[in-house]
Structure 1
Amino acid sequence: MYLPIISRLPNWLSNIKYLSNNAKWEQIFSHYQELTRTQLPLHFMQDPSFIHPILKACQNLSFFTDGYSIHASLIKNGMFESYTSVQNSIMDFYVKARNFEFALAIFDEMKIKDSVSWNVVINGSFNQDGILSNGLFLFSKAVGTGMFEPNVANLVLVIQECRNVYEGLIIHCYVIKRGFCSVSSVQNSLLRFYVVDHGVKVARLLFDEMSDRDVVSWSVMIGGYAQNGESQVALGLFREMVWESQNDVDAQIMVSVLQACISLRNFRVGSLYHGFVLCKGLNFDLFVGNSLIDMYSKYGDLDSALEVFREMPQRNLVSWNSMLSGFVHNKKYVEAISLFCSMSEEDIQVDEVTVVNLLQICKHLLDPYYCQSIHCAVIRRGYELNKLVANSLIDVYSKCNLITHAWLLFSLVKDQDTVTWSTMIAGFTHCGLPEEAIAVFKEMNFVRATPNTITMVNLMEACSSSGELNISKWAHAVAIRRCLASEVVVGTAILDMYAKCGAIDTSRKVFNQISQKNIVTWSAMIAAYGMNGLAHNSLTLFQEMKSQGLKPNEVTTLSILSACSHGGLVEEGISLFRELVQDHDIDLRLEHYSCMVDLLGRSGRLDRAVDLMETMSDTLEPGASAWGAMLSACRRYGNSELGIQAVSQVLQLEPSNSSVYILASNMFAAKGLWNDAARMRLLVKEKGVKVEAGYSLIHVKSKAEKFVAGGTRHLLSHKICYVVEQLHEFMQLDNVDDNIFLCM
């Protein structure tokens, strides 16, 4: 009864092979079902190649249950163990069905393993999550059998999964020995391995030896140089490719080139390569467009970034986020909010990056309501578990002085990382709670979280705010134990901490111990002398810095001008101001002009201060700090006419600044304008301005004692008041010998 059916087997087999070559999986499976309905035993199938197309059809159609049934039938009929090729097909089916454990079990039970068997299991091991190490082990075991013939596919996978240079060099030697060193895909895999794990120098040696470089080879090398900060070399290699190679530039290479342009921060170079993108028609590529937006945003040319964004035929969420980040990075917060509204109108689903950008807007606008609204959106979308979002929320709440909200959110974060702890420490410090910040750091050590450079800098800032010299010394010791004190950033924070605690000699010792000083370190030490009233030391150190070939920047300029201002070195300050502008081409900012106004105002040169404010750059207008310095000078020298103008300007710029009202009231009172003085005091109450009392900080037995103006709560207040009164009375005596004060 089987003879008519058996006679049809050759036609069935040839038809299935034809359908397999043309990927007609549904028709193959239909033939298989027809065959099973004939109830023909599988042992009549004399050709094992009949099995592989059917299993491949099950795999491509995701009919895994049918594949399992075929496996069971083959075992039942004895077909499975009779042919290695059948076992290989079943093993390959299980690999593609992502059931590598079954495939590995079959492999282990095989009595005869051929080269195909090894290739199937090796390739399969590299495609499984969590068991990548098996691939290298199996590959080395296969090589040891002497019967293994590797193919290009598993060599590429093996190279990709090498975990260190030693493994990579062994595979590289094997590639050369087996004659695969001329295969482009293998060479490119080796290039990528060396770029990622051993640096571009070794990769360049291999690249220079390649006789046939394709576009992938150039892309790997150019991208490697761009990612390793060697932007000039990356662009030079790109030009070499364009001039000498027959390969067309693709989008991936242009993305690497634009990344190199971003690192160079050269607007002209970036614009030239944008022109090249337009000539090659690559501006329609989504990734190239996103890179162009990022490049122009980093250059500060938001008009060009926005033009690229609008001309993109296709945008994804990265495009929107890149444009949004550009606005935020360049402090265009109104435009950023407008863009976000456009996202909502076009029904673009935001992600964590969008939320973080919006939170940056809150941080600069200091809008608590807006921050809480975004927090609600975060909870609704389920982003509260994202560490980046949680850390940003803690930071923004702290900057908005909602420290209770920040602490509550910090307490709810599971598995706080180093960034979370550092952000909370910085938050307490910003809100004037240095003791709490230090307590958080101690708790961080208690749970054995590892502080990093940023953590230590935040801790030093907290110690600076506390003014406690003993605490500062403890923090310094912690940095030494953590082997972080030698880092220039931490060392600079330490010397600044000691300077703010009044220990200027210790600060200088720390400065001398920093081996690799940068311009920030020098600027911090110059500022340290200035804040401690040692303006001449600041000038000496400034000259020493220049003698070592370091050019002052904007921060150095502000530090030295501030030192001259507080030290009363008017002529020196004016001379330095001119020198820095003319000889060093310093880009003057509002802070520099404000500092010069303060310097001239302290010395009574109000007319020159006014002239300076009127001759500021066209792009700058006098800010609250400049007018505040002018107001302070007017109060000191009794110029109420100019002082009234300064009061008007400062109140317009900073209506919630309590010091303005106090200065204005004192100025009017000194002139006998009691009604105006009372009006200033009344405005404070009407506008609900919080008046922050001034305080003095002195060290008594290495402990910082804080005395608030008008306060009587401190235990030593009455004693200090009594001593001050006695000194005042003593100074009124006519026959006081000046030498007595020298003895005191």
Structure 2
Amino acid sequence: MNHPPIISISKLSNWVTKIKELSSNKRWLELLSLYNDLNKSGVQFTEPTLFHPILKACSVTSFRHGKSLHASVIKLCVVESCTSIGNSIMDFYLKAGILDSTFSVFDNMKVRDCVSWNIMISGCIDHGDYDRGLSTFKDARAAGFETNVSTLVLVIQTVNILGALHEGQKMHGYIMKTDYLAVSSVQNALLGMYANMAVEFAQKLFDEMPDRDVIAWSVMISGYVRSDNAHFGLGIFREMLAQFGKEADGQTVVSALKACTNLKNYVTGKALHGFVVRKGFYGDLFVGNSLIDMYSKCNDPDAAFQAWNDMPLKNSVSWNSLLSGLVCNGNHSEAINLFMSMQKSKIEPDAVTLVNLLQVCKHFADPLICKCVHTVILRKNHEFNHLIINTLVDVYAKCNLICFAQRLFNSMKIRDTVSWSTMIAAFTHCGLPDEAIKVFNEMIQTQEKPNAVTVLNLIEACSCYSELKVPKSVHGIAIRLGLATETTVGTAILDMYSSYGDIITSKKAFSQIIDKNVISFSAMIAACGMNGLPRDALCLLTEMEMHGIKPNSITILSVLSACSHGGLINEGLSFFQKFIKSQEVKPNLEHYSCLIDLLSRGGKLDLAMELIDQLAKGKNVGASAWGALLSGCRTSYNGNENIQEKVIKHVLEFEPNNSSGYMLASNVYAARGSWDAAARFRAMVKDKQVKVVAGYSMVHVNNACCKFIAGDKHRFLLKEILEELHKCMKMEKIQVN
């Protein structure tokens, strides 16, 4: 029988000293090697304090040796007698990410102290098992566990992550019974929890705090900004500066800049920029990036570039923020130049960079650039990034490369709602509505639930159809999905029916919208105007104002157009005067062009001409205004020959390659009986090789659509078409009688 070797006390003491020395110097490999040598020689340790450094070495270097040491500890029955060793073993398994083994050790411990519970709670939370961590904390409290500040803060943060407001309120109650409420870190953790879930509770706690540090102020500002109350957030920031101007830190400034960005508050944002310079925050990357974002969102790309240029240090977020700003503000050429600078500076393009580049491709609709970006995407292994691939499908469609878009879509292993909606929009954009609807049907078969964007894309596809059968089906889909009452979808539906001349169904769709806004009212006003109901349009305007919704520029344009096409000259003039006096919306050239059309249609060519002359003094009068006046000249020609000649001259100067100007001029002369002049203008169209878009009519017979183009003498009327037309005419006659 083999017996353990007899070791002198002095030799054992030397080994103990050596182990502690290696541990204090973090020479873990040497420590583990020494332990292995001793273990092989048959030396057994019973001193509990030696197991802690050895387990620490195992957690850093070798999990296998740690498990072996755990087995040795179990054989020696040390865990039951020494809680600290159990804690070290639990810590070892936690660092290895094995929660189940940690709980197994914990459950077998006869005596647990505060360290044991803290290890378990923090371990669960650190490994993302938040529910288990919170449950362990409750068990600890039931067992009489006395928490410490760090664990308490960690649990509050866990409640915040879970969004469990009720649990957070219970935690607040527990803390109030202890002395921890006076600890600033605990107060700030509670404040952050409330600011993230219920900012009104955060405000109440904030008001009760006798001493507020910069963290508390920053938490309140960011809380208001996140809850879409950026105005209140800026107010808190101003109050903070009045009391703690010298203590504002970079995080607080970032939150304040975010508030300015959300509010598009350029003036305050610029003032904050000055504050940043005075306080020396320019070295803070977050502050610099927030400045770039603020200027970009406030439509000042030059100031964004200057802020970017002034940054002493830049990261990929800095470059991407400026790139996004240039794209959003329509500076596409500058965006390409910036990307070239990124390449020269060895800044690797990430997903954000590539999505912005794809937006530039969409603007230029250049297939070559799009394919080049696609190559970069493949080279950088971003072909599985959903955002990038969905954007790429959309861009290929905008470049009229629908085959590439479809091929890319078909290659996607996982498709979400955005992917399906993008492909539907792609086919619609390329004039392939049948394929768009086919994709939608495939989407339904995969049990992917459509959203509002999907339905909006389907409605847009319906605009390519000449009958209401398919649009009605889409309307039914929207109703079944519960989306017909949403503002965006409901507005699109009423607009769809309006374009088909079904104003009755348009009104029904409008009445079903729950939250009507200025866009839905404007669309309904435009629908009434387009379908010959100008009085209804004016009534809708009154109803809109009664609901406290102020008209925007589109609403005003729709009302003027309705009055113009409905012959309500005086009402239109009266409305425009009211609109000018209110000064709520500044009139633009489109409004004046519509007013000129109103006057021209009413035969008031002198007033229309006088208005154009006034506009010419301060604005660049466009072709639309002169075209509206020329259209009026066609019906009101008596005694206005001089005006007509002047108008025709300007229209042809503005749009020499547009056939409508020549046709209108020809019709004006024809109305005056000047047939030679009328013929001369029509001949000019051929001489100048101006492309003429011919009008056409469509007739449906037996589910087939037949198109008849003006001037086409080669189309033979089929017997079925004549019979269908005859039938329709008979039905109309019966209804009239």
Confirm or deny a common fold (TM above 0.5).
Answer: yes
Q: What residue in structure 1 maps to residue 151 of structure 2?
A: 154
Structure 1 residue 418: deviation in Å?
Answer: 1.9
Alignment check: 8 A CA contact 2:663 2:681 kept: no
Shift of the alpha carbon at 1:74? 4.0
Counterpart check, 1:263 vs 2:262: yes
What's the RMSD between the two structures over aligned residues?
3.9
Cα deviation digits, residues 398-417 of structure 1 (max 9, x gap): 33333333333333333322
**Change in CA separation of 1:543 and 1:515 when aligned onto 2, cut-off 3 Å:** same
Q: CA deviation at 1:228?
A: 0.7
Is 2:52 the partner of 1:52?
A: yes
Deviation at 1:137, TM superposition (A): 2.7
What is the match of residue 5 of structure 1?
11
With over 3 angstroms needed to count, the CA separation of the structure-2 counterparts of 1:508 and 1:52, relative to structure 1, is: same
SS of the residue aligned with 2:181?
Answer: coil
> Following TM superposition, by how much is the alpha carbon of 1:662 offset from its aligned partner in structure 2, in angstroms?
7.2
CA distance in 2, matches of 1:246, 1:642: 64
Return closer, same or farther for 1:407/1:591 CA change in 2, 3 Å cut-off. farther
SS of structure 2 residue aligned to 1:25 = coil
Change (3 A) 1:416 1:10: closer
Post-superposition offset of 1:230: 1.0
8 A contact 1:485–1:491 mirrored in 2: yes
**Is 1:168–2:168 an aligned residue pair?**
yes
Distance in 2 of aligned mates of 1:628 and 1:407: 42
Q: CA deviation at 1:25?
A: 0.8
TM-score (ref. length: structure 2): 0.84
1:397 maps to 396
Amino acid of the structure 2 residue aligned with 1:696: S
SS in 2 for 1:181: helix
Q: 8 Å contact 1:598–1:630 — kept in the other structure?
A: yes
- Unpaired stretches in structure 1, ≥5 consecutive residues: 728-739
Measured against aligned partners, the alpha-carbon deviations of 1:694-736 in whole angstroms (never above 9, x if no partner) come to 3335789999986554484886785289979x99xxxxxxxxx
Question: In structure 1, the residue corresponding to 2:248 is in which secondary structure?
Answer: coil
Q: Deviations over 1:572-605 (max 9, x none)?
A: 4455444423423423345434434554565677
* Alignment partner of 1:191 is 2:204: no
Judging changes above 3 Å, is the alpha-carbon distance between structure 1 residues 6 and 409 closer, same or farther for their aligned structure 2 residues?
Answer: closer
TM-score (norm 1): 0.84
Structural mapping, 1:315-464, within 5 Å: 315-464=314-463
CA-CA distance at 1:465 after TM superposition: 4.2
Letter in 1 for 2:446: V
SS of residue paired to 1:314: coil
Closer, same or farther: CA 402–40 of 1 in aligned 2, 3 Å: closer
Q: Deviations over 1:18-66 (max 9, x none)?
A: x63xxx312x65456456556697976554223323433454x545455
- Number of the residue aligned with 1:734: none
Matched, 1:695 2:692: no
Question: Contact 1:635 / 1:643 at 8 angstroms: preserved in 2?
Answer: no
Shift of 1:329: 1.6
What does 1:470-509 align with in structure 2 at a 5 Å threshold?
470-509=469-508
Q: Does the residue aligned with 2:212 lie in a helix, a strand or coil?
A: coil
Residues 1:240 and 2:239 are matched in the alignment = yes
Amino acid of the residue matched to residue 325 of structure 1? S
**Number of the residue aligned with 1:25:** 26
Query: Structure 1: how far apart are the matches of 2:174 and 2:407?
Result: 58
Aligned to 1:142: 140
Structure-2 residue corresponding to 1:284:
283
Q: Is the 8 A contact 2:564 2:572 kept in 1?
A: yes
CA shift, 1:523, in A, is 0.7
The separation in 2 between residues aligned to 1:287 and 1:107, in whole angstroms, is 42
1:695–1:708 CA contact under 8 A, matched in 2:
yes
Inter-partner Cα distance in structure 1 for 2:125 and 2:695: 67
SS at match of 1:696: strand
Unaligned runs of 5+ in 2: 1-6
Deviations 1:436-492 (A, max 9, x none): 433433333332222222223333333344253343333333323222222222222
Q: Distance in 2 between matches of 1:606 and 1:438?
A: 48
SS of the residue corresponding to residue 247 of structure 2 reads coil
2:115 aligns with 116
* Cα distance in 1, alignment partners of residues 419 and 619 from structure 2: 37
Alignment partner, residue 518 of structure 1? 517
Q: CA deviation at 1:205?
A: 2.1
Separation in structure 2 between the aligned mates of residue 605 and residue 380 of structure 1, nearest angstrom: 65
The alignment status of 1:649 with 2:654, answered yes or no, reads yes
How many residues end up aligned between the 2 structures? 713
Query: In 2, distance between residues paired with 1:215 and 1:232?
Result: 19
Where 1:161 maps in the other structure, the secondary structure is helix
- The 2-side partners of 1:650 and 1:398 are apart by 30
Specify the alignment match of 2:3 in structure 1.
Answer: none
- Distance in 2 (alpha carbons) for counterparts of 1:362 and 1:630: 39
How many angstroms does 1:395 deviate by? Answer: 2.4
Q: Does the 8 A contact of 2:153 with 2:189 survive in 1?
A: yes
CA contact (8 A) 2:32 2:57 kept: no
SS in 1 for 2:180: coil
Shift of the 660–160 alpha-carbon distance from structure 1 to 2, 3 Å rule, reads farther
Which deviates the most, 398-407 or 303-312?
398-407
- Native 8 Å contact 1:661 1:681 kept in 2: no
**Secondary structure of 2:314's aligned partner:** coil
From the superposition, tell whether residues 622 and 51 of structure 1 become closer, same or farther in structure 2 (CA, over 3 Å). farther
| 1:204-253 deviation digits (Å, cap 9, x = unpaired) | 22222333333322222211101111112111222222233488212111
Distance 2:624 2:400 in 1: 22
Q: Which residue of 2 aligns with 1:737?
A: none
CA distance in 2, matches of 1:617, 1:170: 70
AA aligned to 1:694 is: G
**Alpha-carbon distance in structure 1 between the residues aligned to 2:224 and 2:606:** 56
Q: Supply the distance in 1 between the matched residues of 2:318 and 2:684 (Cα, whole angstroms).
A: 53
The match for 2:88 is 89
1:201: Cα distance to partner? 0.9
Q: Relative to structure 1, is the Cα distance of residues 266 and 338 closer, same or farther in structure 2, using a 3 angstrom cutoff?
A: same
Distance 1:433 1:248, change over 3 A: same
For 1:142, what is the secondary structure of its paired residue? helix
Contact kept in structure 1, 2:421 and 2:454, CA below 8 Å: yes
Distance of 2:364 and 2:633 partners within structure 1: 31
Matched to 1:483, the amino acid is G
Instruction: Measure how far apart 1:264 and its partner are.
Output: 2.0
Query: Matches of 2:61 and 2:632 in 1, distance apart?
Result: 83
- Alignment partners' CA distance in 2, 1:698 and 1:640: 39
| Corresponding letter in the other structure for 1:172 | H
Q: Which moved more, 1:527-536 or 1:395-404?
A: 395-404
Q: In the alignment, which residue of structure 2 is the partner of 1:735? A: none
Distance 1:280 1:156 in 2: 31
Matched letter for residue 403 of structure 2 = T
- 1:437–1:462 CA contact under 8 A, matched in 2: yes
Alignment partner of 2:697: what SS? strand
Distance 1:683 1:380, change over 3 A: farther
SS state of the match for residue 522, structure 1?
helix
Q: Retained in 1: the 8 A contact 2:494–2:524?
A: yes
1:472-621 equivalences in 2 (<5 Å): 472-570=471-569, 572-596=571-595, 598-599=597-598, 616=615, 621=620
Shift of 1:293: 1.2
Q: Amino acid of the residue matched to residue 135 of structure 1?
A: G
- CA drift of 1:519 comes to 1.3
Structure 1 residues 351, 596: closer, same or farther in 2, change over 3 A? Answer: farther
Is the 2:459–2:496 Cα contact (8 Å) retained in structure 1?
yes
Tell me, yes or no, if the aligned pair for 1:640 and 1:671 is still in contact at 8 Å: no
Does the aligned pair in 2 maintain the 1:527–1:560 contact within 8 Å?
yes
Question: Using the alignment, how far apart are the partners of 1:591 and 1:441 within structure 2?
Answer: 37
- Cα distance in 2 for partners of 1:375, 1:116 equals 54
Counterpart AA for 1:646: V
